[in-house]
Amino acid sequence: MLPARHRSMVLMKKITRGTHRKVNYVSKLFQPQNVVPKDNKVKNEDCLSKSQKLMLDLGVIRQASAGAFHMLPLSERSLQKLISIVDDEMSKIDAQKLMLPLLTPGELWKTTGRWEDVGEELFTLKDRHDKEFVLSPTHEEAVTDLIASVPQLSYRQFPLRLYQVSNKFRDEMRPRFGLLRGKEFIMKDLYTFDVSQEAASETYKAVSEAYENIFRRIGIRYLRVSAAAGIMGGSISHEYHFLATTGETQLLTCESCGYGTSAENSVTHDCPACGHSFLQCRPGIEVGHTFLLGTKYSLPLKAKFTTATGKSDFLQMGSYGLGMTRILAASVEVLSLPDQIRWPIALAPYTVCIIPPKEGSKESAVAHLAEELYHKLNSVDCFRDDLIIDNRCNMTIGKRLFEAQKVGYPLIVVIGRKALQPTPELEVYHTLMDKETSINKTDMIPYLKECLLNK
């Protein structure tokens, strides 16, 4: 018998280890799926985009009202992965994260003229004192007023790059395509302040590179095209698009030099970059937009800085948006099969799903291999807390594999018949490549790592 104090320490260690050994189980997952009777297809199926239908049917999102959606645990995990990528790339260009109120005083929007310009798409409301507010679709006014309200900053304190990830609102006439065009959506919006046009152009270049990195890490083929500044104002503007048949923007692209522009922005059909005589027209989903704004907001809202000679001058601004919920939906839209979600591996809610044997089957003798593999993988950085076990062992392996492929887990490991061999093998389904391989149990971790590297 150990002394009492020692005993309690051992117990403490066990408990601590216990909390680290938390396992994600499909049986615990809040994933309310739509059960659609086979003979009763959804009536308005034609109005749904592929991503909307799949995400609703498979319990990834749930509609709250027309154009507003609950982000359920699977989509929330995916969103958090996207936010981590964005945070990482933003920190590389010294952008600082903050959070502005969703309510912006209406008077600021009246000062810049956008209260009228945006018109009926702008969600407005009054408080009990009759004060008007905008439920913000974007925060140029709010952030510019913030900078104008603080003790005047010196030229030494620039460039200043501030961003947030938050909910945005737009009173859409016809919300559609789920997260692609809603009344409420999540955006990452970055606002930059510089002391000269040259410095603002440098910032524009730096942010554009960060955006390219973000899209490369997401892993979906994208197009950056020159765009019209529209009601945002300013001089230079670019849009980032995923190419998809449901895309609402027509893009003109040059096969010869890679130049692209939005069709509404085009005055010629010869390529303005290389003179090639044919531009191809294809639909795209806009997922990002960048603007060099000049003093469009700093002038009316009086956002100034102190120059090296002690004078005051207006700040040069830029505004850079990424539609976060839109990127998720557009990724699913681009990659998915008609009846199976496909996530880019970087944004999959869980990278690995492990399926243990059916209870009562011969293979159930090696059911422990599931949790054994889970804990081994969980100790590897690139898999930590990115794993789930489908422990609904009253269901056949086939049924659970079918569901795991529908939800789109990129790597599915099945503890099947071959796990009973003297040298146990497990089956790995590589969802994105539609490939199946049997892997020796001891080679499993290096193999799965390799799969991640070659995504």
Which residues bind to Zn ion, rule: CB under 5 A?
A: 254, 256-257, 259, 271, 273-274, 276
Which residue's CB is nearer to Zn ion, number 133 or number 259? 259
In whole angstroms, the minimum distance from the beta carbon of 287 to Zn ion comes to: 23
In whole angstroms, the minimum distance from the beta carbon of 282 to Zn ion comes to: 15
Which residue's CB is nearer to Zn ion, number 90 or number 223? 223
Nearest to 371 by CA among 427, 418, 413, 403: 413
In whole angstroms, the minimum distance from the beta carbon of 325 to Zn ion comes to: 33
Residue 97, exposed/middle/buried by CB under 10 A (0-12, 13-18, 19+)? middle
Helix or strand holding residue 319 (H, E): strand 316-323
What torsion do the CA atoms of 94, 305, 143, 140 make, to the nearest 10 degrees? -100
Which residue's CB is nearer to Zn ion, number 229 or number 273? 273
In whole angstroms, the minimum distance from the beta carbon of 242 to Zn ion comes to: 21
Which residue's CB is nearer to Zn ion, number 255 or number 450? 255
Structure tokens at 359: 């209870």
In whole angstroms, the minimum distance from the beta carbon of 352 to Zn ion comes to: 43
- In angstroms, rounded to a whole number, what is the distance separating the alpha carbons of residues 426 and 376? 15
Contact 305, 296 (CB under 8 A): no
> What are the DSSP calls for 181-237, one per residue?
B-SEEEEEEEEEEESSHHHHHHHHHHHHHHHHHHHHHHT--EEEEE---GGG--SEE
Structure tokens at 393: 């062992």
- In angstroms, rounded to a whole number, what is the distance separating the alpha carbons of residues 112 and 109? 5
- In angstroms, rounded to a whole number, what is the distance separating the alpha carbons of residues 308 and 310? 5
Report the chain's terminal Cα–Cα distance, integer Å.
53
In whole angstroms, the minimum distance from the beta carbon of 271 to Zn ion comes to: 3
Which residue's CB is nearer to Zn ion, number 11 or number 257? 257
Which residue's CB is nearer to Zn ion, number 176 or number 276? 276
Contact 255, 246 (CB under 8 A): no
In whole angstroms, the minimum distance from the beta carbon of 226 to Zn ion comes to: 12
In whole angstroms, the minimum distance from the beta carbon of 241 to Zn ion comes to: 17
User: Peptide bond before 159: cis, by omega within 30 degrees of 0?
Assistant: yes
In whole angstroms, the minimum distance from the beta carbon of 252 to Zn ion comes to: 10
Which residue's CB is nearer to Zn ion, number 2 or number 267? 267
In whole angstroms, the minimum distance from the beta carbon of 269 to Zn ion comes to: 11
Which residue's CB is nearer to Zn ion, number 102 or number 273? 273
In whole angstroms, the minimum distance from the beta carbon of 260 to Zn ion comes to: 9
Q: Which amino acid is at 356?
A: P
Which residue's CB is nearer to Zn ion, number 278 or number 402? 278
Which residue's CB is nearer to Zn ion, number 64 or number 257? 257
Nearest to 145 by CA among 298, 251, 21, 368: 298
CA angle centred on 257, ends 254 and 262, rounded to 5°: 35
List CB contacts of 434: < 8 A, sequence separation 6 or more: none
Question: How does strand 280-294 pair with strand 249-253?
Answer: antiparallel
Which residue's CB is nearer to Zn ion, number 271 or number 411? 271
Structure tokens at 79: 């969103």
Which residue's CB is nearer to Zn ion, number 284 or number 323? 284
- In angstroms, rounded to a whole number, what is the distance separating the alpha carbons of residues 55 and 229? 32
In whole angstroms, the minimum distance from the beta carbon of 257 to Zn ion comes to: 3
Q: CA-CA distances (angstroms) from residue 87 to 91, 98, 212, 318, 422?
A: 6, 11, 14, 18, 47
